[in-house]
Structure 1
Amino acid sequence: MTITQDSSAPLVAVVGATGAQGGSVVRALIESDKPYRVRIFTRDASKPAAKEFTSKGAEAVVVSITVDNKEAVYKAFEGADYVFSVTNWAEHGDPSREEAEGKLMVDAAKAAGVKGLVWSGLSSISALSGGKYPNVGHFESKARVTEYGRASGVPFVDIQGAGFTSSLTSYAKPTKTGADSWTQYFPVASTKAMAIIDAEHDYGLWVRKALELPVFPNGQSWAAVGEFISPEDQMKQLAEVTGKSMTYAEITPDAFAQGMESAGTPPHIVLAVKEVFTGVGEFGYFSKDTIVTTEGLARKPRTWKESVAAMDLSSVFA
């Protein structure tokens, strides 16, 4: 159904609505048979996604969610019944900034008196590994925001997205190794089951579930996962979808890091990404109290094979 303007319907404020997760949240609410008013936050209302959502009845608020823009952020949150918040570490690579902006959104939601705040967080790799891998800054900053949100008094749920299937077209792009053959090189064991999600298509399903439960799941952490699948099986299924020769090869974390350094990636980000893969490979992606289930979702999320079949892979095989 389309978004309603009826003032009796809950108003959901969505941060990052023109991005993968926020956009998925808006689309999941549009798909619902329940009425919602939707307020999207964007820095550029001319973006195609912003225009798509406003054409369907969403209210667009142009705002930059930064600590030096606190007054405008608080004003943007006013009147919201629920908030979905997300940060974009990849944009600036600064965990301290990400933490500050995440906490700002918690404070703004609290000031607005919301009934529920849904936060796109991640587990602490340092805690999962018993301190062995302390340098995954963007996981640690998100985990600290989760702690802050839980202590704030705002009804708060943390929904942690698995690895994005769309990474196949970016940092996880296979390397051409022959006339019609490709190999994906990653520092993960070939048979290690990895959590994946088609974030653009499916992440919002968990957010919608949280908003539509009889009681808001305050204090919980959920995993948004479409499938657990090994890198080896990912490449096998990609070969089935594309008809191309696809293989997987495990490389050392140091070799992976060297490749990132050669591409000009800043050293602190190289270290963070390196420890993500080594930490997750040894200790897993989610903490033991994170609830992993697809039960109660409005529809089934895509598997890896379904996701890559729907993906534009022209850049992968260019």
Structure 2
Amino acid sequence: MTITQVPSAPLVAVVGATGMQGGSVVKALAESDKPYRIRGFTRNATKPASEALKKQGVEVVEISLVLDNVKEVYRAFIGANVAFLVTNFWEHIDMEKEVSEGKMLIDAAKAAGVERIVWSGLVSPTKISGGKLTHVYHFHGKSLVSEYGYASGVPFVNVQAGFYASNFLANPSMLAKQSDGTFAIAWNVKPTTVVPLIDCANDYGLYVRHVLELAVFPDGSEVYTTSEDITLQDMVRQLSEVTGKDVVFKQLTDEEFGKNFSALGLPPPVVTEMVEGFQFFDEYGYYGGQPSASREGLARPTRTWTEFAKLADWSKAFV
């Protein structure tokens, strides 16, 4: 069913509608047999992705969701029944900024009378590790926003995103060419570590749609999304089979892993964040020991790693 303009249909305000997660939410709702009006927020309403949304019937709102723009942010949610909220730590690498902006979005949605909020948060490595791992800011900051959302008084569900399959396409260092000609996924984790891998653009929105279309909105719950739970050793084997490239997994020490990120020119705090983030992943699991959500009941099957690999353009990854 296409996106509707019928006033009786619920209006869903989607933050980051031209981005990975927000775009996936729009895609999943547009596929639904239930009617939705969609208001998509973006910083550039004239770029091709925004124009494509307009053609689908999305109300595209150009807005910068920052604290300096708080009055406009509050106005942007007026009339919405549902809000999908997400922040992007990597745009500024500032946890306090992310937390402040996340709380602002919740406050704005609440002030506008939104009936349900779906937020894209993550677990807290600081809490789960008992204070051992305190520098995984892009996880911990989102967990603080989650706590704020649960206490907001607005029905609130936290739909967490798994590890993006697209990371291997977007970041050439994820598949580093070795001196022997192989391509290595080189992390400071065990090869048997299970990755809750998600083809975010295709599958993340399915979980949000599922939450919104349940008979009773599961207020206060957490959803740990995945397209496929897969070990690293199976990932490299399947990627080799699909691409014909010799892909291996290489287990690094924390020091070696950190040096790789330093060599990319990343500042020391980011290097520490990455090292501790993967330490957390290895010791406690990406979701801190919580099982991934069931894929049963989703509107369509999620995309496996092999399926993703077959459809992807690897030309810029294998260089």
Report TM bin, short chain. over 0.9
Describe the SS at the equivalent of 1:228.
Answer: strand
Q: Give the alignment of 1:63-74 within 5 angstroms.
A: 63-74=63-74
Residue 45 of structure 1 deviates from its aligned partner by: 1.0
Q: Which residue of 2 aligns with 1:218?
A: 219
Matched residue type, 1:191? T
Describe the SS at the equivalent of 1:211.
Answer: helix
Q: Which residue of 2 aligns with 1:191?
A: 192
Cα distance in 2 for partners of 1:152, 1:2 equals 32
Of 41-50 and 173-182, the range deviating more from structure 2: 173-182
Cα distance in 2 for partners of 1:152, 1:136 equals 25
Cα distance in 2 for partners of 1:283, 1:112 equals 38
Cα distance in 2 for partners of 1:160, 1:254 equals 29
Q: Give the alignment of 1:24-103 within 5 angstroms.
A: 24-103=24-103
Residue 178 of structure 1 deviates from its aligned partner by: 5.7
Describe the SS at the equivalent of 1:292.
Answer: coil
Residue 295 of structure 1 deviates from its aligned partner by: 2.1
Contact 1:221 1:290 in 2 (8 A): no
Q: Which residue of 2 aligns with 1:303?
A: 304
Cα distance in 1 for partners of 2:236, 2:289 equals 29
Contact 2:196 2:292 in 1 (8 A): no
Cα distance in 1 for partners of 2:189, 2:291 equals 22
Cα distance in 1 for partners of 2:308, 2:256 equals 29
Contact 2:225 2:292 in 1 (8 A): no
Cα distance in 1 for partners of 2:125, 2:23 equals 27
Cα distance in 1 for partners of 2:18, 2:55 equals 14
Contact 1:125 1:140 in 2 (8 A): yes
Per the normalisation by structure 1, the TM-score is 0.97
Contact 1:121 1:143 in 2 (8 A): yes
Residue 175 of structure 1 deviates from its aligned partner by: 1.8
Contact 1:23 1:49 in 2 (8 A): no
Contact 2:150 2:156 in 1 (8 A): yes
Cα distance in 1 for partners of 2:304, 2:120 equals 21
For structure 2, list consecutive stretches of 5 or more residues without a partner in the other structure.
none
Q: Which residue of 2 aligns with 1:176?
A: 177
1:108 has 2:111 as partner: no
Contact 1:121 1:142 in 2 (8 A): yes
Cα distance in 1 for partners of 2:297, 2:59 equals 28
**Superimposed CA distance per residue, residues 212-252 of structure 1 (whole angstroms, 9 cap, x where no aligned partner):** 11111110000111111111111100011111211111011
Q: Which residue of 2 aligns with 1:294?
A: 295
Cα distance in 2 for partners of 1:236, 1:142 equals 33
**Superimposed CA distance per residue, residues 31-86 of structure 1 (whole angstroms, 9 cap, x where no aligned partner):** 10111000000000122221111101000111100111110000001000001010
Cα distance in 1 for partners of 2:292, 2:235 equals 24
For structure 1, list consecutive stretches of 5 or more residues without a partner in the other structure.
none
Q: Which residue of 1 aligns with 2:280?
A: 279
Of 107-116 and 181-190, the range deviating more from structure 2: 181-190
Describe the SS at the equivalent of 2:166.
Answer: helix
Matched residue type, 1:259? N
Q: Which residue of 1 aligns with 2:165?
A: 165
Residue 179 of structure 1 deviates from its aligned partner by: 7.6
Contact 2:223 2:293 in 1 (8 A): yes
1:14 has 2:10 as partner: no
Cα distance in 1 for partners of 2:131, 2:294 equals 28
RMSD: 1.4
Q: Which residue of 2 aligns with 1:245?
A: 246
Cα distance in 2 for partners of 1:314, 1:271 equals 30
Per the normalisation by structure 2, the TM-score is 0.96
Cα distance in 2 for partners of 1:36, 1:264 equals 45
Count of equivalent residues: 318
Residues 290, 220 of structure 1: CA spacing in aligned structure 2 closer, same or farther, 3 A cutoff? farther
Cα distance in 1 for partners of 2:115, 2:213 equals 12
Describe the SS at the equivalent of 2:223.
Answer: strand
Residue 292 of structure 1 deviates from its aligned partner by: 2.0
